[in-house]
Structure 1
Amino acid sequence: MPALLFLVFCASQVILIERALAQGSWKLLLDNAGIASMHTAVTRYNTVILLDRTNIGPSQINLPDGVCRNNADDLKQTVDCTAHSVLFNPADNSVRPLFIQTDTWCSSGQFVADGTLVQTGGDFDGLMKIRTFSPCSSSGSCDWVESSTEFLQDGRWYATNQLLPDGTQIVIGGRGAFTYEFIPANGRGKVALPFLEQTNDAQYDNLYPFVHLLPDGNLYIFANRDSIILNYQNNKVIKTFPTIPGEPRNYPSAGSSVMLPLLASDGYSKVEVLVCGGSQYGCYMNPSAYPTSSDTCGRIVVTDDEPAWNMKTMPYPRSMGDMVLLPTGDALIINGAERGCQGWGNQKDATLKPVIYSPSSAKFITQTGTTIPRVYHSTANLLQDGRVLVAGSNTHQYYDFTGEFPTELRIEAFSPEYMKSTYDGDRPRIVDAPGKVGYDESFTVTISIESEPAGYVGLSLLSVPFTTHSYAQGQRMLSLEVGLPVYVGGGQYEVSAKSPPYSTLAPSTYYMLFAVNEGVAGAAAWLRIS
């Protein structure tokens, strides 16, 4: 028996290695979405919110008949009858125009417990705005709502939002805003955060700080090249970390970051953060030089007593890349440029080939490239079916369809290797799963698999982030505690699971629940943790 188990284990490892080396594929979904998406978020109805800025003149999609935006402060036109946000439906690749009133340029956002997207700040008349979008089915008429009674306490341009365990969200930083605040405020005022001022260099490399909610309820905050753990409840910095080697990593240098998957197998106790790419210091001040982007990733165990950066070299230099956690636990690094930094026309040599980083092997696997450059103001988001939606790219202040990097209205999907039809026999399809579970709660997921699983079928819980400017705000993944699959007949198996034990691990909201068998993921079911 031990020899047989060893052979099964070896065969399983060969399969996983082969799949890790396999290539993903690309598909053009839509030639013209009407807008270039600067901000993108996936809703629990499997629709996708695409959002650009106002103040750019007409887009390529009209608002419904008779609807226009009237704004005397608009930079291009005071009456605008075109949309600057749309709702995209990946099921049929259709779009529906949405109405946004104030300027959302370089704003931020986060989904809250009931699945509503709370969206904050921007520029000009949007600087202190709070907006909401309550998703509906693809046949519905949901639209943006802008509050006329609740406003931000500081103007937030290039800020970062994070959903908190108590259901509120924290909004951190922004250009010239060295503070944080809460939505809803519930009587709480803005709070000074000196760390943001300390990391504010001449080219503002502390914008869109990378923020990760830790299992103990504190926040890991990375800005420029430095990072801290903040106890936001009493405004105490309780840990500082070594400076990451190399270049600045935040906007406008435009690296990216993910917190690697939290694992039930170690009690969710080990926390690692990955930071990749960026631009050389000074790029934003001398953009015509187009300096070579960073080719390094830094990985740090936040929970170590004496943490240190472990540096790796990527296959390509990359700034303006997006990092997407996949249900397999790997990190996709996609979009960006090999030279330059964020800003109008500040980039050269688009990085057309994504790479997949495996946390277990600490290696990068180069993937098949796209033909569409995605540089400044582009996005990438995981869809419920396992694909990655790629949208946006506009290196111009207004819509301009000329030059090396024209305003990009096309939408693509990148399908990681686990989507290949050759793996359909091993693909776990969720037949039944609860729509809602509490904390530390046992539940069962019924899956269908053509071939008998060789061992555990994993369950991955992934949030739906608000993605903009190379950072997915609120992105997190948990690998849940599961039992061995039990055959119940008809090609179906039951997998017992345990939900996260507390809200600091998974704040109450909607998540995508993926089943993963031998490195192959099926489509997700929506699960509300409450």
Structure 2
Amino acid sequence: MSSSLSALRRLRTALILFVTSTSLFTSTARADPTPVPPPGQPSRTGPANTFQVIGTSGVSAQQLFLGTANKVYVVDKTEDNPLRIKSHPAWGSEITLNPTYSVRAMDIYSNTFCAGGSSLGDGRWINVGGNEGVSWGGVAPGVQGNNPAAYGGAPYDDYDGGAAIRLLMPRDDGTCNWDDNPKNYMSSRRWYPTVEPLEDGSVVIIGGDNIGGYLNSADQNNPTLEYWPSKGNGTPVYLPILDETLPANLFPLTWLLPSGNLFIQVNWETEVYDYKNNVEHRLANIPAAVRTYPASGASVLLPLTPANNYTATVLFCGGSNVAAGQWTSSNWIVPTYPASTSCVKINPDDKKPVWVNDAVLPEARTMGNFILLPDGRILLVNGAKLGTAGYGNDSWAIGHSYADSPILTPLIYDPHPGIPTSRRLSRAGLGSSKIPRMYHSTAILLTDGSVMIAGSNPNPDYTVGNGVQYPTEYRVELFYPWYFNYTRPNPSGLIDQIGYGGNYFDVQLSADDLKINDGGNGPLYSLNGTKAILIRTGFSTHGLNMGQRYLELQTSYTLNSDGSGILHVAQFPPLPTLFPPGPAVLYIVVNGVPSVGVLVTVGNGQIGTQTVNTVTPLPGNVVPVPTTSTGTLTTIGPKSTGRWWWWWWDC
């Protein structure tokens, strides 16, 4: 692993320089940011820890992402949604959240069935791959085997989406549309591909199959990766792990690591992949269960923070303990098979990564969705106790569903240090939904800190009516976490673009802001508990949020004598691999209670090499102290925070 070791040594050195320089030196330098207005309070509220139906999605929400603070975009497969556009059913929609909830139909030409997606460094979103053109019921007209139907014909008139690249630049004025142009298409077909952002604002597109079905197979498999925009000569790169993990190797679980390598988990196998040199470094198999589709365990990159030295830890929960031969056994009754209760985690950038058992789920779960919350905890929603993802016409299917026994009550996972493993998962005080969220369900964080939950459609086409146990679902819910019981901080001085290195910026917090959830401990306690958090909410589909990421910025503070304060916020560490460029949401979190987030651009707003600047050291913490002679307040500082973070590596 010499290439990986070199990358890790560079990472270690850069992080030592960053965290020590921002903690130990003082400076009077100031950023010259473009400020945005204070974010105010949430426009929509509900009782904390409850679900609320707020509208419909127009098309079934197989794929979901937050495009602007006020716009959510929905993508479905080709099917007979009631929402129409240009005399055919719509397969895409735009949800406007405020001031009035509304839905606009969007036209997509090619079949987006089981596509992947992500944000790009220039602010656009990319939707990748899909399936052949189909007619009613998802049937390709007159085409069998490996020859995809280029055109579905009536009633949908859709095109083959297997190699499609669809692009969207979100806008708040309701005028944006999908660019579904064959000139942008890939060189190979990909159904169920994974899309992960890279440090230059491009994306890597991994795996998938040709046409396929419930499972992948050797004659359908696409064991390669490619990039968009293309790199080199554009030829897909062979990835052996995808040839060795059939049949459950679709939507390979992938994250860009701080080292610059990719962590890939697929079926039982795991590796760190040096994509720049095309070198695989195999790790031990994942314990207890398969997590990739169709076993579909929940997975998430845990928060990257100064306290953990921005160490990447990946968590997996649920899935299914299915042996290779069992997937294709004619005796296997899928929706009666219990999912897994196992949770495991790993630090892939360690010298010798090892799997560690974590908390145990209170019930088995497949198709769960992990959502990073601004307070650093993680919401687990959606899914079922029995079966797997997928649907079909089998006699044993529940209608068409390959899963049964939906889970309606969420869980909270707390990764904070000091929490015993046995207490990391909790549902204390959490309400339940009334809507089963099975196959093709989605969830994303919104800027107000609520979680939008949509979709569920384990059916080949639009299926509703009496007696349909798991119908095509259009209702959209919000889940309101615990902090909806509190008035939110309303900081000023937030900015709309954050780079790698450079000057810090100052965020002002009022005395009232610093009283939020302080337990009577006062403003100094609150400033010590205030954080600046960046979250990329990701592209949600099939229990994944591709590109989802959480990073805490370095901060120091000045406490004013009137009880107000200034949070000095460093920009990103000078390592784009920690948080790739593109759109994200910035929250100021006081004692666990987040402000309404503001949408920011991470990086230079372009696809390509990112600007990396010298870090301007943060000032030390400044606090007023009473004098003994007059009782007036005198400020002492700047003062070192006294905090050290060590990045240790035994080479």
Q: Please give the range of the TM-score, normalised by the shorter of the 2 chains.
A: 0.7 to 0.9
Residue in structure 1 matching 2:345, options 299, 307, 310: 299
After TM superposition, the score normalised by the length of structure 2 is 0.71
Q: How does 1:77-476 map to 2 (within 5 A)?
A: 80=88, 82-91=89-98, 92-124=100-132, 125-137=160-172, 139-175=173-209, 176-186=221-231, 187-200=233-246, 204-237=247-280, 239-268=281-310, 270-281=311-322, 282=326, 286-311=332-357, 312-344=359-391, 345-360=401-416, 361=419, 362=421, 363-366=424-427, 367-402=430-465, 403-420=468-485, 423-424=486-487, 427-441=488-502, 442-448=504-510, 449=513, 451=515, 452-453=522-523, 454=525, 455-476=528-549
Q: 2:590 matched to which residue of 1? A: 517
Tell me if the contact between 1:283 and 1:290 (Cα under 8 Å) persists in the aligned partners.
no
> Aligned-pair distance for 1:413?
0.4
Residue in structure 2 matching 1:493, options 551, 565, 585: 565
Q: Structure 1, unaligned stretches of length 5 or more?
A: 1-21, 69-79
Q: Which residue identity is paired with 1:509?
A: G
SS of equivalent to 2:255: strand
Q: Which residue identity is paired with 1:117?
A: W
Tell me if the contact between 2:93 and 2:103 (Cα under 8 Å) persists in the aligned partners.
yes
Q: Which residue identity is paired with 1:438?
A: G
Tell me if the contact between 2:206 and 2:225 (Cα under 8 Å) persists in the aligned partners.
yes
When structure 1 is superposed on structure 2, of 241-250 and 379-388 the one drifting more is 241-250
Q: 2:577 matched to which residue of 1? A: 504
CA distance in 1: counterparts of 2:333 and 2:113, whole angstroms: 21
Change (3 A) 1:445 1:235: same
CA RMSD of aligned residues (A): 1.8
> Aligned-pair distance for 1:289?
4.8
Deviations 1:260-317 (A, max 9, x none): 111123432x221101111231367534552011111111122333332222311121
> Aligned-pair distance for 1:206?
1.4
Change (3 A) 1:391 1:284: farther
Q: Which residue identity is paired with 1:123?
A: N
After TM superposition, the score normalised by the length of structure 1 is 0.87
Change (3 A) 1:219 1:27: same
Change (3 A) 1:392 1:443: same
When structure 1 is superposed on structure 2, of 284-293 and 39-48 the one drifting more is 284-293
Deviations 1:88-143 (A, max 9, x none): 12222211110011000000111112211111100000000111011100x33111
Change (3 A) 1:165 1:289: closer
SS of equivalent to 1:343: strand
Deviations 1:1-33 (A, max 9, x none): xxxxxxxxxxxxxxxxxxxxx961111111x32
Name the structure where strand makes up a greater proportion of residues.
Answer: 1
CA distance in 2: counterparts of 1:60 and 1:289, whole angstroms: 29
1:62 aligns with 2:61: no
The alignment of Structure 1 onto Structure 2 pairs a total of residues equal to: 480
Tell me if the contact between 1:117 and 1:133 (Cα under 8 Å) persists in the aligned partners.
yes
Deviations 1:16-62 (A, max 9, x none): xxxxxx961111111x32211000000134311011011x2x21212
> Aligned-pair distance for 1:188?
3.0
CA distance in 2: counterparts of 1:356 and 1:284, whole angstroms: 35
4+ long deviations beyond 6 Å: none
SS of equivalent to 1:230: strand
Tell me if the contact between 2:538 and 2:547 (Cα under 8 Å) persists in the aligned partners.
yes
> Aligned-pair distance for 1:419?
1.9
Q: 2:59 matched to which residue of 1? A: 35
Tell me if the contact between 2:69 and 2:447 (Cα under 8 Å) persists in the aligned partners.
no
Q: Which residue identity is paired with 1:140?
A: G
> Aligned-pair distance for 1:223?
0.6
Deviations 1:187-211 (A, max 9, x none): 33210000111112xxx21111111
CA distance in 2: counterparts of 1:267 and 1:273, whole angstroms: 15
Q: 1:19 matched to which residue of 2? A: none
Q: 1:24 matched to which residue of 2? A: 49
SS of equivalent to 2:130: coil
Tell me if the contact between 1:164 and 1:504 (Cα under 8 Å) persists in the aligned partners.
yes
Q: 1:74 matched to which residue of 2? A: none
> Aligned-pair distance for 1:485?
4.9
Change (3 A) 1:104 1:284: farther
Tell me if the contact between 2:264 and 2:272 (Cα under 8 Å) persists in the aligned partners.
yes
CA distance in 2: counterparts of 1:248 and 1:235, whole angstroms: 25
Tell me if the contact between 2:122 and 2:201 (Cα under 8 Å) persists in the aligned partners.
no
Q: Which residue identity is paired with 2:165?
A: I
Change (3 A) 1:483 1:207: same
Change (3 A) 1:288 1:257: closer
Q: Which residue identity is paired with 1:145?
A: D
Tell me if the contact between 1:432 and 1:445 (Cα under 8 Å) persists in the aligned partners.
yes
What percent of counterpart residues are identical? Answer: 32
Higher Cα Rg: structure 1 or 2? 2
Q: Which residue identity is paired with 1:346?
A: Y
SS of equivalent to 2:364: coil
Tell me if the contact between 1:221 and 1:227 (Cα under 8 Å) persists in the aligned partners.
yes
SS of equivalent to 1:419: helix
Q: Structure 2, unaligned stretches of length 5 or more?
A: 1-46, 133-159, 210-220, 392-400, 516-521, 604-651
Tell me if the contact between 1:456 and 1:484 (Cα under 8 Å) persists in the aligned partners.
no
CA distance in 2: counterparts of 1:59 and 1:127, whole angstroms: 21
Change (3 A) 1:206 1:456: same
Q: 1:14 matched to which residue of 2? A: none
Tell me if the contact between 2:48 and 2:484 (Cα under 8 Å) persists in the aligned partners.
no
> Aligned-pair distance for 1:526?
1.6
SS of equivalent to 2:362: coil
Q: Which residue identity is paired with 2:445?
A: L
Tell me if the contact between 1:45 and 1:136 (Cα under 8 Å) persists in the aligned partners.
no
Tell me if the contact between 1:488 and 1:494 (Cα under 8 Å) persists in the aligned partners.
no
CA distance in 2: counterparts of 1:128 and 1:287, whole angstroms: 33
Tell me if the contact between 2:170 and 2:176 (Cα under 8 Å) persists in the aligned partners.
yes
Q: Which residue identity is paired with 1:444?
A: D
Q: 1:48 matched to which residue of 2? A: 72
Tell me if the contact between 1:456 and 1:483 (Cα under 8 Å) persists in the aligned partners.
no
Q: Which residue identity is paired with 1:408?
A: E
CA distance in 2: counterparts of 1:516 and 1:284, whole angstroms: 49
Q: Which residue identity is paired with 1:212?
A: W
